[in-house]
Amino acid sequence: MLDERPIEASSIQPPQFFHRHIGPTAKDQAQMLAQLGHTDLEDFVQEVIPRDIFDRNPHLGSSIPEGCNESEALEELQAIADKNSPKRSLIGLGYHGTVMPSLIQRHVLENPYWYTAYTPYQAEISQGRLEALFNFQTLISELTGLPIANASLLDEATAAAEAMSLSFAVKRKGQQASRFLVDIDVLPQTLAVLRTRAEPLGIILDISIPSDFNFGDDVFGMFLQLPGKSGQLWDPSFCIAAAHEVNALATVAIDPLAQVLMAPVGELGVDIAIGSAQRFGVPMAFGGPHAAFFATRETFKRLVPGRLIGQSLDKEGQIAFRLALQTREQHIRRDKATSNICTAQVLLAVIASFYAIHHGAEGLELIARRVISLRVKFEDCLRELGYPLELITRFDSIEIYCNQAPKVHELASLAGINLRVLPLGSSVDKSKGFGVSFDEVSNDKELNILCQIVAESIGKKFNPLQNKTVKIEDTFSDVPLRKSRWLKQSVFNIHRSETDLLRYISRLSTKDFSLVHGMIPLGSCTMKLNSAAELAPISWQKFASLHPFAPLEQAEGYLHLFQDLESWLSELTGFAGVSLQPNAGSQGEFAGLLAIRKWHESRNQSYRNICLIPQSAHGTNPASSVMAGMKVISILCDKHGNVDLNDLEIKAREHASDLAALMVTYPSTHGVFEPKIREICELIHSFGGQVYLDGANFNAQVCLCKPGSYGVDVCHLNLHKTFCIPHGGGGPGIGPIAVASHLLPFLPGHPLVQCGGSNSIGAVSASPWGSAGILPISWMYLRMMGIKGLRKASSIALLSANYIASRLSPYYPVLFNGLEGLVAHECILDLRPIKRSSGIEVDDIAKRLMDFGFHAPTVSWPVTGTLMVEPTESESLQEINRFCEAMIAIRAEVDEIIQGESDSTNNPLRLAPHTLSVVTADEWDRPYSRQKAAFPVPALAQNKFWPAVSRIDNAYGDRNLVCTCSVFE
Amino acid sequence: MAFDFPKNFRFADSHEYALFEGDLVRVGISAFAVDQLGDIVFVDLPDVGTVLTRGTSFGSVESVKAVEEMYAPISGEVVQRNDSVLSSPEDLQNDPHGEGWLLLISPAEPAHVEELMDAGSYADKIASN
Ligand SMILES: Cc1ncc(COP(=O)(O)O)c(C=O)c1O
């Protein structure tokens, strides 16, 4: 076989990117094929994929350009970015200008040590980001005055919806109550998402001015926005008391910068505080990604959506962090979960935490005070000019309704400034008012320009403002201010110089195992290359600085990018259209199921509410179905791991009258291409249901088969798996949905920006195109790969997984095989026989892999007691072999236990992982050598990754939950 | 692992036990269930005065790796709750048939206790799985 890497001098074109994306060389591929008894990659792939869905010629009629190298793609993307013409935005509404310190941009956002890590499932090699998230939780807890804060949610609007769901779950336990009181001053996008999430659960939103709230026994919760979208701040104590009077929970959406100076809402009695940490150093990026936060009282800690980092102890009694209360996760609660959130916004939460460490309490206060003083001076100017200024207490925002609003907007635009157009959603020439939100970037110069604009609009001359000092306390006579010192924890106080913070960031990052160190073969996670060229454009100002509600003329580059991606992803999935709005797979599932629900409704069959879900499905599937108002019926799997067709037919028939959908993962979570997928889709359609495909495993299908052409109606994709968006240590992600033409009218929309279908399900995310700011990553990937590269990538992903299955099956049985005994892009190794014969658990092997310099595969999912291995196309044969050899060496260690040569408890598996301090301690009382403990194979001498802590005690941490730093360290 | 199920205990399919104490019935979960769950970290129990219906969920028990609902083996009213397992779930872990009991119930239908499995049948059922 010819090496495809062009090496001859005669090749004039620089090599295409895909050669660098794909790990195994042509020679390696030949060797891997030989291991499987094959000689030709194409023949091999045809054996893996069921014949009746195989796409022989994905080039045919393709709109995806031929692949290229990174400079060509970057040049093209630069031209697209240049079509964006971002102005300075003072629009506010949950998105504000902020300054990401260069240190954080360079050493966190643009640092693969941080962005290529996965969710910290293997805590012993994730202490860095776990500590950073612990700091984030501490920051949020200090800000809000509530003891329990989670490690981020997808955006402020979904955080509000999570608060609503939690309140609903609490009250439902007691009495029937379905009314949720919502402050009329709520952000429009938050209200839209609350609407979308309330309807399927039968929740009634009762929207009014808080002083008019109609509290009654049918109210389960109340939602306030402070400051409101109008900018108003007020003391919510009376409302909170009234909510508690009827046993309803009180939620407040806060602005973290305002909260720096205001009395923590927790002290005013609120039960839940939510908000967005965007203005703590994260660019607006046309809507995301940004970390939302969620804080609550101790009582509700077991109902907190998303992940919570907790402190525990390791085997040596050292403090160590890990994911706490993991049984809260939908993986285990399934259809009993109140939330479906999985991937969150870890990287952005980490950035916000470092921003707070960089500034400390004093620095944050300074920013808040500066913003207020600008707002006060602008109020003075407006008053002097005779503008009708309502007498309310404000933080950073002012709204004015006046006849000359169109003129104000026109002049602002000429000065390169976007103001909020009032009423929201109206055009500039029809506008009746304008709004201004000051932010960290604002200064006196900007203020002067604004003053000039408002003066000129009414034909007056503007006198530059006197330099007056503003006493903050005077402007907040009627709202409670923060009284005591806060953020006293040492981490927020000892890293004031850039040198110190650089070292702290670096020290944390070296504790984490990321793709920088070696393969992360997590099944169902697709930990492929996140190339530098794909990542570079997200820092470009033309992408990063745009406000999501800026006039669309300023976002032409983005619109071009969306159009490219929508058409490319539609083509790859075989569907008619795509919505880029969902912020993660979980949100895609919810959006797709709602589209199905709405389609049934449009055909007067709204009674269809049964969702069939195979037992093997990811926990988000049943959780999303329940959120979409459906009832889950579980479908059995047969002994090959496939959907049990018999059971499926029985249950579909039984529910012929009320079947809404089947949710199926393909290739299945068991890592095989079920041969009967076409039949399954036909069966569901014949009973009036729709087929939802969970596209988490789409990496096995790209350019090899298309869900839209084998009978699926809607699927989501995880751009953070298949399309190279890095996992960021647990987010960001993007979970677009692709739909067949009959579902197009229902695609998600937005209250302020024209997008989505004509009969939209509403908004599922706060911003119209979700996490637009990271879409350039997937664009670069697709543009550089082209059809040829993409098809090659999927083929190698299949080859690598099968190679591993074949090499390891003599040592560990491969649990499920598909056609011809082949797996798809991942394989499940069954460790249960080992447990029976040696007592060694799957966790012991996962931890022992750390000693060998590996991140474990997925542990005990979807089958307890197994490991699921997904190598992806990006890992070289050398790395794959290194992994196989580690697994084989571990198997030999297990045999030593079985044969009695090694102690059944005091052995390197049960006591893994081994830290540097343990193996270099003066004392060593174990029956195996230190060498065997830490350097079980010779190659480790050249390249050793040390776990930061020994095995962590999960039970201790869950029984004694600590999820914020103490002040005394 | 062999389990020792006291002879005077009765067991439900879902692994709860019931045992007469005078007119009242003591309820807990079996040593087998505790073993299956692993490290127990949290127990959720109903308040005194709650009326339970046979076969419906009355609380949950959470371990590091799973969370399971517990179902009332009989109908009746909760007259006492073992608050010590709430604060130290280890009690349930270490002594499920003794210190780790959960509720004391005033049975609505005392005869229902007899309809549960006796210790021998329960042991056989577990062994056959
Ligand atoms: C099969 C499957 N479905 C759904 C999801 C949820 O996706 P996300 O984490 O993006 O919400 C995952 C994520 O790991 C998955 O593996």
At A336 the pLDDT is 84
- Say yes or no: CB of residue A722 within 6 Å of ligand 1: no
Instruction: Quote the ligand 1 centre to A728 CA distance (angstroms).
Output: 15
Q: What is the pLDDT of residue A470?
A: 77
Phi, psi angle pair for A33, to nearest 5°: -60, -40
CA distance A472 to A491: 28
Ligand 1 neighbourhood includes A880 CB (under 6 angstroms): no
Residue A590 binned pLDDT confidence (cut-offs 50, 70, 90): very high
Torsion-angle region of A907 (φ positive above 0: left; ψ -120 to 50: alpha; else: beta): beta
Per-residue pLDDT tens digits for A533-576 = 999 999 999 999 999 999 999 999 999 999 999 999 999 999 99
**What's the pTM value of the predicted model, to 2 decimals?**
0.96
Positive or negative CA dihedral for A104, A106, A110, A114?
negative
Pick B64's closest partner by Cβ from A302, A333, A958. Answer: A958
pLDDT tens digits, A638-661: 988 999 999 999 999 999 999 999
* β-bridge mates for residue A254, sequence order: A226
Residue A574 to residue A708: CA distance in whole angstroms: 4
Distance from CA of A840 to the nearest CA of B (A): 15
Residue recorded with tokens 């907190």: A304
Q: How confident is the model at residue A969 (pLDDT cuts 50, 70, 90)?
A: very low
- DSSP SS3 for A738: strand
Give yes or no for residue A1 having a pLDDT over 60. no
Burial degree of A751 (CB within 10 A; 0-12, 13-18, 19+): middle
DSSP string, B33-55: HHHHH-SEEEEE-PPTTPEE-TT
Q: Which residue's C-alpha comes closest to atom 16 of ligand 1?
A: A524
Backbone angles phi, psi at B101, to 5 degrees: -65, 165
Ligand 1 atom nearest A341 alpha carbon? 11
Number of domains in chain B: 1
* CB-based contact A955 B62, cutoff 8 Å: no
Please give the distance of CA A741 from its chain centroid, rounded to a whole number.
28
Q: What is the 3-state secondary structure (H, E, C) of A125-136?
A: HEHHHHHHHHHH
Average pLDDT, integer, range A326-339: 77
A690-695 vs A659-665, strand pairing mode: parallel
Ramachandran assignment for A51, one of left (phi > 0), alpha (psi -120 to 50 degrees), beta (any other): alpha
Contact B66 A326 (CB under 8 A): no
Identify the residue whose C-alpha is closest to ligand 1 atom 12: A696
Write out the residue limits of the CATH 3.90.1150.10 domain(s) in chain A. 792-958
A964-969 CB contacts, 8 Å cutoff, 24+ apart: A964/A134, A964/A137, A964/A138, A964/A141, A964/A142, A964/A147, A964/A149, A965/A134, A965/A135, A965/A138, A965/A489, A965/A491, A966/A489, A967/A488, A967/A489, A969/A489, A969/A490, A969/A491
Nearest to A614 by CA among A587, A574, A589, A645: A645
DSSP tag of A275: E
- Ligand 1 pocket test, candidate residues A118, A119, A155, A342, most atoms within 8 A of CB: A342
DSSP A464: P
pLDDT of B2 strictly over 80: no
Q: Nearest residue on chain A to B61, judged by CA atoms?
A: A327
Within-domain flag for B61:
yes
Burial of A237 (0-12, 13-18, 19+ CB in 10 A): middle
Helix (H, G, I), strand (E, B) or coil at B61: strand
Pairing of the two strands B10-11 and B117-118: antiparallel
- How far is A857 from B16, CA to CA, in rounded Å? 36
Q: B66 at the A interface (CB within 8 A)?
A: yes
As a whole number of angstroms, the distance between CA A292 and CA A366 comes to: 23
Strand ranges inside A128-246, DSSP E: 148-149, 179-183, 204-208, 219-226
Res A704: pLDDT: 98
Distance CA A455, CA A386 (A): 10
- Would you place residue A146 in the very low, low, confident or very high pLDDT band (cuts 50, 70, 90)? very high
Q: A73 CB contacts (<8 Å, ≥6 apart)? A: A17, A533, A780, A783, A784
- Residue range A851-880: mean pLDDT, rounded: 96
Pairing of strands B10-11, A319-324: unpaired
| Secondary structure of residue A157 in the 3-state scheme | helix
The SS3 assignment for A799 reads: helix
Confidence at A408, pLDDT banded by 50, 70, 90: very high
Report the C-alpha gap between A130 and A119 in whole angstroms: 10
Q: Residue A586 Cα, ligand 1 centroid: separation in angstroms?
A: 6
pLDDT for the residue numbered A14? 80
Does the pLDDT value for residue A9 go beyond 60?
no
Q: Write down the mean pLDDT value for chain A.
A: 95
Confidence of residue A176 (pLDDT cuts 50, 70, 90): confident
Token pair recorded at residue A491: 């981490």
Q: 């908000």: which residue's tokens? A: A275
Closest CB to A954: pick one of B42, B64, B89.
Answer: B64
Residue range A892-920, pLDDT digits in tens: 999 999 999 999 999 999 999 999 999 99
For residue A88 and ligand 1, the question of a CB distance below 6 A is answered with: no
Closest Cα in chain A to B89: A959
Give me A927's structure tokens: 């029956």
- pLDDT at residue A469 greater than cutoff 90: no
- Treating both helix axes as pointing N-terminal to C-terminal, what angle do A188-201 and A156-174 enclose, rounded to 10 degrees? 40
* 3-state SS class at A182: strand
Please, how many CA atoms are within 13 Å of residue B80, restricted to the half-sphere of its CB? 10
pLDDT, tens digit (0-9, with 9 covering 90-100), for A342-388:
999 999 999 999 999 999 999 999 999 999 999 999 999 999 999 99
Q: Is A404's pLDDT higher than 70?
A: yes
Q: Per DSSP, which regions of A164-318 are E strands?
A: 179-183, 204-208, 219-226, 249-254, 272-276, 292-296, 308-313
* Residue A65, pLDDT above cutoff 70: yes
- Residues 17-46 on B with a CB inside 8 Å of A are 39-42
The CA dihedral of A871, A872, A875, A880, to the nearest 10 degrees, is 20
Closest CA to A185 of A412, A477, A427, A395: A395
Domain annotation covers residue B1 = no
pLDDT digit string (tens) for A431-444?
999 999 999 999 99
Q: Mark yes or no for CB contact B39/A326 under 8 Å.
A: no
* Beta-bridge partner residues of A737: A579, A716
Say if B34 falls within a structural domain. Answer: yes
The best mutation among A119, A520, A586 to test binding of ligand 1, ranked by most ligand atoms within 8 Å of the C-beta, falls on: A586
The rounded percent of chain A whose pLDDT value lies above 70 is 97
CATH code at B30? 2.40.50.100
Closest-CA residue to A620 (of A588, A666, A661, A578): A588
Q: How far apart are CA A940 and CA A947, in angstroms?
A: 13
The residue range of the domain holding B99 is 10-127
- Taking an 8 Å cut-off on Cβ atoms, the answer to whether A327 and B66 are in contact is yes
Helix (H) or strand (E) holding A578: strand A577-579
Token reading at A812? 């560990």
Q: Helix, strand, or coil here: A314?
A: strand
From the candidate CATH numbers 3.55.50.30, 3.10.20.600, 3.40.640.10, 3.40.50.300, the one assigned to the domain spanning A537-783: 3.40.640.10
Could you tell me if the CB of A296 is within 6 A of ligand 1? no
B64 chain-A contacts, CB cut-off 8 A: 326-327, 954-955, 958
Please answer yes or no on whether A955 and B67 come within 8 Å at the CB atom.
no
Position A637 scores a pLDDT of 94
pLDDT at A850 over 50: yes
Question: Atom 8 in ligand 1: which residue has the minimum CA distance?
Answer: A585
CA of A196 to the centre of ligand 1 (A): 21
Spatial separation of the C-alpha atoms in residues A847 and A951, rounded to whole Å: 8
Contacts with A333 from chain B: Cβ below 8 Å:
67
In a domain, B117, yes or no: yes
Residue nearest to atom 7 of ligand 1 (CA): A585
Cβ–Cβ gap B90/A954 under 8 Å: no
Residue listed under structure tokens 């040596």: A316
**pLDDT value for A222:** 98
A302 vs B contacts (CB less than 8 Å): 42, 62
State if residue A343 touches ligand 1 by the CB under 6 angstroms criterion.
yes
Residue A818 near residue A482, CB atoms below 8 Å: no
Residue A335: closest CA among A633, A673, A47, A585 = A633
- Give pLDDT tens digits for B6-36: 999 999 999 999 999 999 999 999 999 999 8
CA distance A245 to A150: 27
Do residues A580 and A772 make contact, with C-beta atoms less than 8 angstroms apart?
A: yes
Query: Counting beta carbons within 10 angstroms of the beta carbon of residue A942, is it exposed (0 to 12), middle (13 to 18) or buried (19 or more)?
Result: exposed
Name the CA radius of gyration of chain A, rounded: 28
Mean pLDDT of A226-230: 96
Give pLDDT, residue A4. Answer: 57
Across the interface, whether the CB atoms of A955 and B64 are under 8 A apart is answered: yes
CATH 3.40.640.10 in chain A, residue ranges: 537-783
Give a yes or no: residue B106 inside a domain. yes
Which of A330, A620, A717, A860 for mutating ligand 1's site (highest number of atoms within 8 Å of CB)? Answer: A620
- Which chain B residue lies closest to A334 (C-alpha atoms)? B67
Euclidean distance between CA atoms A738 and A723, whole angstroms: 14
Asked whether the beta carbons of A149 and A142 are under 8 A apart, the reply is no
For the domain made up of A792-958, the CATH class stated in words is: alpha beta
**Given the CA of residue A697, which atom of ligand 1 is nearest to it?**
1
> What pLDDT sits at residue A462?
81
Q: Is the omega angle on the peptide bond into residue A551 within 30 degrees of 0, that is, cis?
A: no
Per residue in A281-317, pLDDT (tens digit) is: 999 999 999 999 999 999 999 899 999 999 999 999 9
Report the candidate in A859, A853, A525, A894 with the shortest Cα–Cα distance to residue B64: A859
Whole-number Å distance between alpha carbons of A553 and A559: 9
DSSP state of A710: T
Find out whether the beta carbon of A524 lies less than 6 Å from any atom of ligand 1: yes
State the closest ligand 1 atom to the C-alpha of A584, by its place in the atom list counted from 1.
10
Q: Which contiguous run of DSSP H or E holds residue A916?
A: helix A916-919
* Separation between Cα atoms, residue A478 and residue A212, nearest integer Å: 19
Contacts of B63 in chain A (CB under 8 A): 327, 955
> How far apart are the C-alpha atoms of A764 and B101, rounded to whole Å?
45
